[in-house]
Copies of this chain bind each other. A is one copy, B any other.
Amino acid sequence: MPIYNAPAKDMQFILHDMLKATETGIPGYDELERDFTGAILDEAGKLATDVLAPLNASGDVEGCRLENGVVYTPKGFKEAFAAVKEGGWNGLDLPEEFGGQNLPYVMGCAVGEVFCSANMALNMYQGLTHGAINALVTHGTDEQKATYLPKMVSMEWTGTMNLTEPHCGTDLGMIRTKADPQGDGSYLITGQKIFISAGDHDMAENIIHLVLAKAPGGGEGTKGISLFVVPKFLIKDDGTPGERNGVSVGSIEEKMGIHGNSTCVLNYDGARGWLVGEEHKGMRAMFVMMNEARLGVGLQGYAQAEAAYQNAVAYAKDRLQGRAVTGAENKDGPADPLIVHPDIRRSLMDQKSFIEGARAFTFWGAHLIDRAHRMGDRDADGLISLLTPVIKGFQTDMGFDMAVQAQQVYGGHGYIEEWGMSQFVRDARIAMIYEGANGVQALDLVGRKLAVDGGKPAMAFFEMVKTFIKENDGREALKADFLEPLKAASKDLQTAMMYFMQNGMKNPNAALAGSNDFMHLFGHVCLGLMWARMGLAAQEALDAGTGDAAFYETKLATGRYYMARHLPATGMHLARIQSGAETVMALPAEAF
A interface residue numbers (CB < 8 A to B): 164, 167-171, 174, 194-195, 253-257, 313, 316-317, 320-322, 325-326, 334-335, 337, 339-349, 352, 400, 404, 407-408, 411-412, 414-418, 422, 425-426, 429-430, 432-434, 437-439, 442-443, 447, 508-509, 512-513, 515-516, 550, 554, 557-558, 560-561, 564-565, 568-569, 571-572, 575-576, 579, 581, 583-587, 589, 591-592
Supply 11 further A-B pairs (C-beta < 8 A) apart from A167-B320, A171-B320.
Answer: A164-B412, A168-B321, A174-B321, A253-B416, A256-B417, A257-B415, A325-B447, A326-B508, A408-B433, A565-B576, A568-B572
Contact B412 A342 (CB under 8 A): no
The distance in angstroms between the C-alpha atoms of A61 and B171, with both chains bound, is 31
Query: CB distance A411 to B437 under 8 Å?
Result: yes
Collect the chain B residues with CB atoms within 8 Å of residue A509's CB: 325-326, 342
Whether B343 contacts A443 by the Cβ 8 Å rule is yes
| B residues in contact with A447, CB < 8 Å | 325
Tell whether, in the assembled complex, residue B586 and residue A560 are in contact, meaning their CB atoms are under 8 Å apart: yes
Give the 7 A-B residue pairs with the shortest CB-CB distance, closest first.
A568-B575, A342-B512, A564-B579, A256-B422, A561-B583, A557-B586, A342-B513
Check B334–A416 contact: CB distance below 8 A. Answer: no
A253–chain B nearest beta-carbon distance, Å: 5
Cross-chain contact B560 with A415 (CB below 8 angstroms): no
Q: Is the CB of A558 within 8 A of B576?
A: no
A415: contacting residue among B255, B352, B587, CB under 8 A: B255
Q: What's the Cα separation between A581 and B343 when bound, in Å? A: 10
A and B contact pairs by CB, cutoff 8 A, 9 listed: A174-B334, A256-B425, A317-B589, A344-B439, A348-B592, A400-B404, A426-B426, A557-B591, A561-B586
With contact pairs A343-B443, A581-B342 given, residues A557 and B587 touching in the complex (Cβ less than 8 Å): yes
Q: Give the CA-CA distance A126 to B320 in the complex, in Å.
A: 33
Beta-carbon contact of A584 and B572 below 8 Å? no
Contact: A568 with B576, CB < 8 Å? yes
Q: Is the CB of B564 within 8 A of A417?
A: no
**Within 8 Å CB of A194, what residues of B?**
412
| Residues of B close to A422: CB separation below 8 A | 255-256
Q: Specify which of B195, B344, B415, B584 is in contact with A349 (CB 8 Å cutoff).
A: B584
User: In the bound complex, do residue A346 and residue B586 qualify as a contact, i.e. CB atoms below 8 Å apart?
Assistant: no
Determine which residue in A174, A439, A592 has the highest number of CB atoms from chain B within 10 A of its CB, and name it. A592
Question: How many Å from the CB of A339 to the closest CB on chain B?
Answer: 5
Provide the residues of chain B in CB contact with A416, threshold 8 Å: 253-256
Q: Which of B174, B512, B558, B560 contacts A335 (CB under 8 A)? A: B174
Q: A325: which B residues are within 8 A, CB to CB? A: 447, 508-509, 512
Known: A414-B433, A415-B429, A430-B415. A515 touches B343 (CB 8 A): yes
